[in-house]
Structure 1
């Protein structure tokens, strides 16, 4: 199994809060998506055609999040992201959101993605374009 790690820091926006001034639970999924997007740009070197789904899509087929601590407006949150890729044609991302003000884990989440080609057909193997990108980063064998 290939595991790559990435850190993404976010300062919650006012629009992320609920009426109590606490980060709304849906905000965590937005933050996870932002971290995943930046990981794909910075680490996997995905260009615009890969990021917008013109060459390859990897939709979410499963997601979850466990909330442990509240985050308030003005806190700073670090997302520790793990990219996991095994032999099957799916990607798993694991997330750990850490409130840097109190240095405690505020949420733990996961998303699982499958691959679709440019014609929206399910890929049964890891797409060549991804395995080539991974070979540029680490020695990767399917």
Structure 2
């Protein structure tokens, strides 16, 4: 025999089949509430990171009107897809500097130095970048890696 219990919403007396906790109406409300809480937590975490960990000058740059306009242009130019793997990007839009901003600030708003990456490809690129930077003559090497070579390196690393 199926077990039932009351909806967990305090104002609702509808019975729901175990293991459900909410009736269909309140289940949707609960999911929306959880999603909103997740977004707020993520926003607070990013805000704290920006205030305490990120370089102040970098934070100012990433909050600038110029960057936001350029960022939106790049996302649209790349059709909301990762420039490496082609996956659609819905929620976590990462606009990456091909030559890192900290290495060559003259290219920080250069459209040819910016591309849209998914979280996975961005993580792989960042890991490769750090390895190269920490190698002899690494900064000079990073300055000269083309977009095409980055695509090749990232795809090779993802295959492993």
TM-score higher than 0.5 here?
A: no
Query: TM-score of the superposition, structure 1-length normalised?
Result: 0.27
Higher strand share: 1
Query: TM-score of the superposition, structure 2-length normalised?
Result: 0.25
Q: Greater CA radius of gyration, 1 or 2?
A: 2
Higher helix share: 2
